[in-house]
Amino acid sequence: MTIKTSRARQLTMTFPNTSSISDYSINTIIPQRTIFSTTSKSIDTFNIQQRRYLGNKFNVLSLIDEVINNEIGEFESFCDIFAGTGVVGHYYNTPQRKIISNDLLFSNYITHTAFLGCNNIDNTKISKIINELNRLNSTVDNYASLHFGGRYFTLSTARHIGEIREKINQIHKQQIITFQEKSVLLTSLLYAMDRIANTVGHYDAYIKKEVKRENFILKMPNIKYEANHKNINYNKDANILIRQIECDVLYIDPPYNSRQYSDSYHLLENIMRWEKPEVHGEARKFDRKHLKSDYSLKNATKAFADLIENAKCKYILFSYNNMADKGNNRSNARMNDNDILEILNRKGNVKIFEQSYKEFTTGKSDRGDNKERVFFVEVIK
């Protein structure tokens, strides 16, 4: 195993013990408030990164990009196999490239389909529908209001959410909208809920004080249709998908601790699926047994070894932070560095790059010295 430093000035490779790093300034993309003009009424828009998501890599895109520029250069296909919000694949999305996005959560598959899907939509029709959905005056209780009203949202907003969700299903069933258009509307709903939910950014709990009235409004996602025509989205376990695909760059960003994403985002997953399951407990979670990730369990290392063994790609970029023995048990990393290096080394020479960053957490703990790391392998074996 050879460990090298990046040619990039700002990056310092530090493994196993030393630590010297300059704070990386992030590519802050100022949230846009563009106006989408329609024949009916102007509509506000939103961008893919404008949601709260644990472990999202928007703030470390500069590190990933530095590694890709210095170590790879040009490439034609990129697979974001644990895509989450999809911001990493989206960053590399151009008309010349094929972006493969995948996530175990259906809710993420829906947002990937909206932002990165290869089918066009009728923008004028969808804008009109969004305006109509915003105008609904919902006074009757439904699945969303009965379970989430007065908790994550006010009762009236929860009624509005439930009615919007029902309407989206209806118009899809009546073939007024395509699946691509349905995904755009659902993505608009998901981001609208996330903007105002009475939480610290995930849905393991809601904030137990009076839910304030909020400005719940659906907006239009900003989508680069011209760049999407080669893309493909999946909703599979990464270890199953890896056996079915090939790509130039494989970007691997699994959960690193025991916090299951299906727990943290159960509410969004539930509303996106709209199967209206029973919910339990104070947080009103549905049964998520089938959505548990191996990467948050004891067999994470075994799953990772299997993933790497079956990867058919030219380059691997693997994000994993340095929380092996820090924080509390729940935030400890599931895999240790020796195992990671041993597994990656089976494919080729490993280089490690890192960046200090402020993690998006529940806001309770400030673990200050978090380091986001990218392990890089040029596959030769």
The Cα–Cα gap between 117 and 94 comes to 13
Contacts of residue 270, defined as CB under 8 A and 6 or more positions apart, other chains included, come to: 277, 279, 286
**One character per residue 239-278, x = contact with ligand SAM (rule: CB under 6 A):** --------------xxx-----x-----------------
Contacts of residue 92, defined as CB under 8 A and 6 or more positions apart, other chains included, come to: 68, 78, 99, 249
According to CB under 6 A, which one of 68, 104, 133, 242 is a site residue for ligand SAM?
Answer: 104
- Please report, as residue ranges, which positions from 281 to 310 form the binding site for ligand SAM (by CB under 6 A): 293-295
Q: Whose Cβ is closer to ligand SAM: residue 82's or residue 357's? A: 82
Cβ proximity of 264 and 107 under 8 Å: no
Tokens, residue 74: 């040009």
User: What does the chain come to in residues?
Assistant: 381
Tell me how many helices (H) and strands (E) the chain has. Answer: 12, 10
Q: Whose Cβ is closer to ligand SAM: residue 171's or residue 297's? A: 297
- Ramachandran sector of residue 274 (left: φ over 0; alpha: ψ -120 to 50; beta: rest): left
Q: Whose Cβ is closer to ligand SAM: residue 56's or residue 154's? A: 56
According to CB under 6 A, which one of 63, 67, 88, 323 is a site residue for ligand SAM?
Answer: 88
Part in contact with ligand SAM (CB under 6 A); list of ranges 78-86, 225-233, 269-277, 350-358: 78-86
The Cα–Cα gap between 255 and 290 comes to 16
CB of 85 to ligand SAM, least distance (A): 3
Q: Whose Cβ is closer to ligand SAM: residue 102's or residue 198's? A: 102
The Cα–Cα gap between 235 and 243 comes to 14
Q: Does 203 participate in binding ligand SAM (rule CB under 6 A)?
A: no
Torsion angle, alpha carbons of 150, 156, 162, 165, to 10: -130
Q: Whose Cβ is closer to ligand SAM: residue 13's or residue 88's? A: 88
CB of 102 to ligand SAM, least distance (A): 6
**One character per residue 125-164, x = contact with ligand SAM (rule: CB under 6 A):** ----------------------------------------
CB of 163 to ligand SAM, least distance (A): 28
CB of 2 to ligand SAM, least distance (A): 27
Q: Does 357 participate in binding ligand SAM (rule CB under 6 A)?
A: no
- Please report, as residue ranges, which positions from 15 to 44 form the binding site for ligand SAM (by CB under 6 A): none
CB of 22 to ligand SAM, least distance (A): 22
The Cα–Cα gap between 283 and 267 comes to 9
Burial 221-253 (b: 16+ CB within 10 A, else e): bebeeebbebbbbbbebbbebbeebebbbbbbb
According to CB under 6 A, which one of 24, 46, 53, 78 is a site residue for ligand SAM?
Answer: 53
Tokens, residue 104: 């175990």
Q: Does 92 participate in binding ligand SAM (rule CB under 6 A)?
A: no
